[in-house]
Amino acid sequence: MVLLALLAFAALTAARINTLVSHLESASEASQDFVAALTEDPEGTGPHLAAARTSLDAAEAELQAIPLAQLESLPWLGRNVTAAGTVIDEMQAVAAGSAPVLADAAELIDFETLRPRSPGASPTEWRATLEDAIDLVEAVPGAIDTLGESRTAVAAIDTAGLLPPVRDAVEDVEAMLDEAYGKVAPVRKTFSDLRDWVEQGVEEFSLLDLIRGLL
């Protein structure tokens, strides 16, 4: 009876894991679209981020439905649930913390050219734009660091021996985070410099030097 109960639990948990993985795949695809939009269509990032968060919430719901205490009897299955949980946690951290900041930043600075998207017709206009974006400027370096930390955490998952769908999902998310970090990492210095100038006070730094550095 105990063996039959364990087999039934394992089958049910495996089914939940497969459903969870399906949601993770959808979240990863939406995240890839979000990353592409950062440079191609910054104003269109919203739907991609919303789709990713919806899929992540669905994946998390499946994870929470698994009775973790019973997994102590099936450690090999528990490893898969732990790996999937780590991926979900890290993607949620990026979706909630980094992604909204980076979406706004991409509308201010072109992530490929590292130049202002709309510098304005005069230094006065750019100055006004920068004053309005002070909170964003200060938040971007931290958002990029958070993305880098999540990338490192997912890369540290030992995929040896995981169920193939879980292994593939982990590797897909790792590749997506690698791509995202590679795209935004060069922007960190630009916003760090902007932040340093802003912290001196908008009235103190040389606006012309700032503009020359960006244009």
Hey, what long-range contacts does 119-126 have (CB within 8 A, 24 or more apart)? 119/211, 119/214, 119/215, 123/207, 123/208, 123/211, 126/207, 126/211
Is residue 35 predicted with pLDDT exceeding 60?
yes
pLDDT of 54 reads: 97
Cα dihedral 20→178→100→107 (10° resolution)? -140
How many domains does the structure of the chain reveal?
1
For residue 208, the model assigns a pLDDT of 46
State the Cα–Cα distance between residues 126 and 18, nearest whole angstrom. Answer: 50
Confidence of residue 47 (pLDDT cuts 50, 70, 90): very high
- Structure-model confidence comparison of residues 75 and 23, the more confident one: 23
Contact, 73 vs 6, CB < 8 A?
yes
Q: How many angstroms separate the Cα of 5 from the Cα of each of 8, 58, 68, 80, 183?
A: 5, 27, 15, 20, 48
Q: Which amino acid is at 146?
A: T
Task: Single out the residue of 11, 168, 180 nearest to residue 83, CA to CA.
Answer: 168
Confidence of residue 44 (pLDDT cuts 50, 70, 90): very high
Q: In this model, does residue 206 exceed pLDDT 70?
A: no
> Between 164-200 and 2-40, two packed helices, what is the crossing angle to 10 degrees?
40
For residues 32-44, give the mean pLDDT: 94
Count each helix (H run) and each strand (E run) in the chain, helices first.
Answer: 8, 0
pLDDT beyond 80 at 61? yes
Quote the CA–CA distance of 169 and 24 in Å, as a whole number: 7
| Structural domain containing residue 143 | 2-214
Residue 3 CB burial class (10 angstroms; 0-12, 13-18, ≥19): exposed
pLDDT band at 42 (very low <50, low <70, confident <90, very high): very high
